[in-house]
Amino acid sequence: MQNTPIILLFVKAPSKGRIKSRLAASIGDDAALEIYQRFVLDTIAAARALTAPLRICCYPPDAVAQICAWLGAEPAYVPQQGKDLGERMEQAFEQVFHEGYGRAVLIGSDIPELSTAVLREAMAALDRNDAVLGPAADGGYYLIGFTAKTFLPAVFHEITWSTNTVCDETLGRFKRAGMQVHLLPKLHDVDTKSDLCIFFKQHRNDPVYSSSTLAYLIEQEERLFGP
């Protein structure tokens, strides 16, 4: 398994009223939950187009059975472990590298723009670089990856999560460690109705069959965005 890759997808339990709270404040809990579930399905579809195995990392830790019942038995499921996001990501990488995987990328589930092509680029980048990072438009990141030999836990320590400095802080840690990092295209995550509007305007004319999220937004366009 020296160079075997794996994709880690962080997923939250699809519990109404506990998902995408800022988006739900504008469009309602039901629509926010539906959109989140479609984000996850689209992300899984993008990952499954590659040959790398997919592992669903579930939050909260006791939600593994709930998420498995939703998404089906095919992917592997593990609970996220740790007191904050940084520790949970660190633990996820440590586990797969301990198991013998040679490369790993970790992705979130609120980037409907994430494509198979971007994931393929991330995996390929780890053949030539120490790490790979996917900047998000809000200052965070949507993807981070390492090889087993270049894993740097320090990028997850004492980061001010959920702020617009996360990506810059992380890049600073890489720079101080002397690591070569491949940057992926900047993508928009969706946390608010404004984010959702940006995504819809940019992708309104994309093929609907390629995106469960886009199909839903077109179907619900008048209700969600007005006439």
* Residue that wins the pLDDT comparison between 208 and 108: 108
In this prediction, residues 10-24 reach a mean pLDDT of 95
Domain tally, the chain: 1
CB 29 within 8 A of CB 17: yes
Nearest to 187 by CA among 131, 151, 138, 121: 138
Res 227: pLDDT: 67
Determine contact, residues 216/32, Cβ cutoff 8 Å.
Answer: no
Better pLDDT: 74 or 190: 190
Summarize the confidence of residues 23-51 as an average pLDDT.
96
CB 221 within 8 A of CB 205: no
Which CA distances in Å does 108 have to 85, 114, 129, 210, 222? 11, 10, 21, 19, 28
**Range of the structural domain that residue 107 is part of:** 5-219
According to the model, what pLDDT value does residue 3 have?
A: 76
Residue 50 lies in a domain: yes
* Cβ count within 10 A of residue 128: 9
- CATH number for the domain harbouring residue 212: 3.90.550.10
Inside any domain, residue 147: yes
- Residue range 202-218: mean pLDDT, rounded: 89
Residue 23 lies in a domain: yes
pLDDT computed for residue 1 by the predictor: 56
Among the listed residues 83, 194, 176, 98, the one whose alpha carbon sits nearest the alpha carbon of residue 131: 176
pLDDT at 197: 95
* End-to-end alpha carbon distance in the chain: 54
Is 227 contained in some domain?
A: no
Distance CA 120, CA 134 (A): 12
Q: Contact, 193 vs 27, CB < 8 A?
A: yes
Cβ burial, residue 104 (10 Å; 0-12/13-18/19+): buried
Residue 225 domain flag: no
Grade residue 207 by pLDDT with cuts at 50, 70 and 90.
confident
User: Per residue in 125-161, pLDDT tens?
Assistant: 999 999 999 999 999 999 999 999 999 999 999 999 9
Which pTM value belongs to this model? Answer: 0.96
Using omega within 30 degrees of 0 as the cis cutoff, is the peptide bond preceding 60 cis? yes
Evaluate if residue 2 carries a pLDDT over 70: no
Task: Determine what percent of the chain is predicted with pLDDT higher than 70.
Answer: 99
The pLDDT score that the predictor gives to residue 208 is 74
Q: What is the mean pLDDT of residues 42-63?
A: 96
Q: Average per-residue pLDDT in the chain?
A: 95
Would you state the pLDDT for residue 209?
Answer: 74
Q: What is the DSSP letter of 112?
A: T
- Contact at 8 Å (CB) between 88 and 80? yes
55 falls in which pLDDT band (50, 70, 90)? very high
Q: pLDDT at residue 220 above 70? A: yes
